[in-house]
Structure 1
Amino acid sequence: MKHPIIYIQAGAGSRTHAAHFVQLAGGHLRVVPNMPSAIRTLDASGDPRPIILFERRTRKIDLQNIRLLRSQYPQSAIILLTGTLDATERKAYLEAGTNSALRPDTDAATFDRTIRFITEYAFRYKPVHTAQPRLTGFRMPLWKRSFDVLASAGAIVLLSPVLLATAVAVRLDSPGPVIYRSKRVGSNYRVFDFLKFRSMRTDADSRLREMEELNQYAGQQPQPKAARIALDPAEVERLIPAIDGQGLLVSDDFVIPEQEHLQQVETEQRNAFVKFENDPRITRTGRFIRKYSIDELPQLFNILRGDMSVVGNRPLPLYEAEHLTSDEYIDRFMCPSGLTGLWQVEKRGGAGKLSPEERKRLDIYYARHLSPLLDLKIILKTFTAFIQKENV
């Protein structure tokens, strides 16, 4: 295949036909479970003209995701995998940016003909449909971006002595880089380097095993990945009738029943969430800058370069974002990531600890009600409640 082919599944719980299309593509197809994984894979490929097989789920979520794909990868070919569409649905999917459609059980001849048409005609001779601006994903309002640039630039200048002093203190307290970088998912599922002053020792991760007895959330050990089966056409064909509607997740070199995979991921993530009282991995300087949120100040540079906004939803680690791709949660990514946000001020303002579900609902509320007045209220609350009282 001259262009990468990406298969985006409809999400957990849906019956997938990914294994069928892997066989049709002769193995030259990458299956991903959700939009964040798709965007990372498409960005990593570096090909401006990928072929995207998009498995239909529900109209609302599909149109939103297709518009996002079209805005981020305007030269891509998006093929909807679906059964029958009525005239209204067909028009909506085409306007969102879909190029063609295939049945989930399509035969090899039809698949080859469609791919050949895309590569030999649509890409080469005919400009791929470009969605109108109104169909793109989230776009930063001018008022918000203007405030972000002025506020972040001004804060960097005013706080430059604090930034410099903190950098020196971090470097003198323990060996290692001054800035800690981690990959986070922001608006439109875009991944960027999230900046903080380093507050832990550089060997923090390697010391986790030595401190398991301190872990408040120690869980069961993940089971060996025995459910993985080598990606062999005969094995895939044999497994399909036996999975009883669970669906298959297909990677580059193995397949696994979807339910088995979800159970493994849940166990691994539960064990990966480590929280310590008086965590000994935190340096003396780190404990101080965490208490007063000074470790967050490098995110002013994230704001200045457009990765984040002053106010928004906190950018999520990759593993968390991959679990929030259903209809009810996608709205939280349709607004900017922020240095502060609605659930942060609710928590710090005296509402106590919020459950993960409460945080998600507040994120969704902010995304749907974004306005200058709401941003102003959050900023004022942040100034009056910036000291964290948790010694964690």
Structure 2
Amino acid sequence: MVDSTLSGDAIQYLAVIHGTEDVIALLNCCNFEDRQILYFNNGVELSTAWENKKLNIVGIISQSEILAPSGISLLEALKNKGLPHVPFFLISNQYNSNLRKLALSAGVVDVFKAPAKMHKVQTRVNFLVDNWDHIKSNVHVKVNDNYVVPAGKRAFDIFFSGMALLMLSPIFLIIYLLVRLESKGPAFYYSLRVGTGYRVFKFYKFRSMYVNADQRLKDLKHLNQYSAASETPAPETVATVEVTAAPSTPLTPMLCNDCLKAGKCQFPIYTDKVSWCEKDYMKNKKTAAGSAFFKLKNDPRITKVGNFIRNTSIDELPQLWNVFIGDMSIVGNRPLPLYEAEKLTTDKYALRFNAPAGITGLWQVEKRGKGDMSEEERLMLDNVYAKNHSLKNDLRLIFKTIPALLQKESV
């Protein structure tokens, strides 16, 4: 963390975010000339200190996956706050040529694969900081991969979602009150999703489980309907696990293997003041006594109101707000969790991100009445939609199946 006594002066600082002990030790061994290192826990801490203390920060080194909150999303957030444009480096575990290309096109000046080598970090950081005035004009700082939602489609999204929010506002109020009255905790929660051009945004839903539902999971294994020898169920029949901890109850994060390598959770879900690892939640679906899936009949973690809003897909209604503010469209490719999007950076799959993120899309329509659809088929249909989407085709998809608009998410 930054020393509270620091103030703006001529000293040049390198800001380091999410540094693990190994990275801190590596950076402390580097010779960054006369520049001093400041350590921050997160981007909010950095931006607050930067603004309030007028720090002369000349470079940022973030230990984060490229699509995680402290990756290209943080770079975009700092840019939007109007903070100085300085060299932004990443130290990441997940790394390949396509991820590197994505990071560089978003404005990251260099990516080091963990464990990073001292001489490479020292040389690259010093060179880019020293020559930044000559280099920065050639650095692109745009995350959305040049895709812009067509004006007609955006106008339709605003009109449709605005009218829906207005007409459904009484239902929103009733569900909000019922969720809060039946159990403690926030009525809404959000997780981070990757949408158009790999842009990361907050994805909203109504809460449908009791608080601390994740902590009950280990006590419910005897109710699991699947054994190791049982058949694999359809993805949509598997109980969804969501973060439901009470805001007043601080949690000790349970980190998955990928997060342990980084030393911080790379895939958080948020409710008010607490967060949890989404990837860990998804793994909890597969935990019970060697079973490939975890499914509970009459799951006691789900509230009565939660059971109703899940069965009717009302828990998905807050996504209309995502549409209204431009994070999503009514029709598009479903936005993906961060850890899934990181796997889809090859030429074969990346095309799906050059289309709007949507509540419903081509594969949801194609799936109806045709049984299970493989992940490969879904991804190929996402690519087909990206190549051929238009307002006319979107309207055709909507009229083909109105119920698909609020189909349950199983990505």
Query: TM-score per shorter chain, which class?
Result: 0.5 to 0.7
Say if 2:144 and 2:198, in contact at 8 Å, map to a contact too: no
Say if 2:193 and 2:335, in contact at 8 Å, map to a contact too: yes
**Does the alignment pair 1:66 with 2:98?**
no
For each residue in 1:208-255, what CA deviation from the matched residue of structure 2 results, as whole angstroms up to 9, or x when unmatched? 111123345678xxxxx9x99xxxxxxxxxxxxxxxxxxxx97469xx
Call closer, same or farther: CA 1:202–1:378 in 2, change over 3 Å: farther
**Does the alignment pair 1:351 with 2:389?**
no
Name the TM-score, length of structure 2 as normaliser.
0.60
Matches within 5 A, 1:129-140: 129=138, 131=140, 136-140=145-149
Tell me how far 1:300 sits from its aligned partner.
1.1
Q: Aligned equivalents of 1:64 and 1:215: distance in 2?
A: 41
Give the 3-state SS of the residue equivalent to 2:202 in structure 1: strand
Partner of 2:328: 308
**Does the alignment pair 1:367 with 2:386?**
yes
Match of 2:298 among 247, 254, 278: 278
Tell me how far 1:107 sits from its aligned partner.
9.9
Q: Aligned equivalents of 1:216 and 1:270: distance in 2?
A: 12
Call closer, same or farther: CA 1:168–1:250 in 2, change over 3 Å: closer
Gaps of 5+ in 2: 1-11, 31-36, 38-60, 229-254, 265-278, 288-292
Say if 2:147 and 2:196, in contact at 8 Å, map to a contact too: yes
Q: Aligned equivalents of 1:345 and 1:274: distance in 2?
A: 27
Say if 1:215 and 1:274, in contact at 8 Å, map to a contact too: yes
Letter in 2 for 1:360: L
Match of 1:330 among 332, 336, 350: 350
Q: CA RMSD in A?
A: 4.6
Name the TM-score, length of structure 1 as normaliser.
0.63
Partner of 2:158: 149
Letter in 2 for 1:358: E
Partner of 1:241: none
Say if 2:89 and 2:110, in contact at 8 Å, map to a contact too: yes
Say if 1:312 and 1:342, in contact at 8 Å, map to a contact too: yes
Tell me how far 1:172 sits from its aligned partner.
3.1
Partner of 1:198: 207
Letter in 2 for 1:51: F
Q: Aligned equivalents of 1:177 and 1:193: distance in 2?
A: 16
Give the 3-state SS of the residue equivalent to 2:201 in structure 1: strand
Letter in 1 for 2:335: P
Say if 1:293 and 1:388, in contact at 8 Å, map to a contact too: yes
Give the 3-state SS of the residue equivalent to 1:351 in structure 2: coil
Tell me how far 1:34 sits from its aligned partner.
4.7
Partner of 1:294: 314
Gaps of 5+ in 1: 7-18, 71-75, 82-104, 220-224, 229-248, 254-263
* Identical columns (%): 40
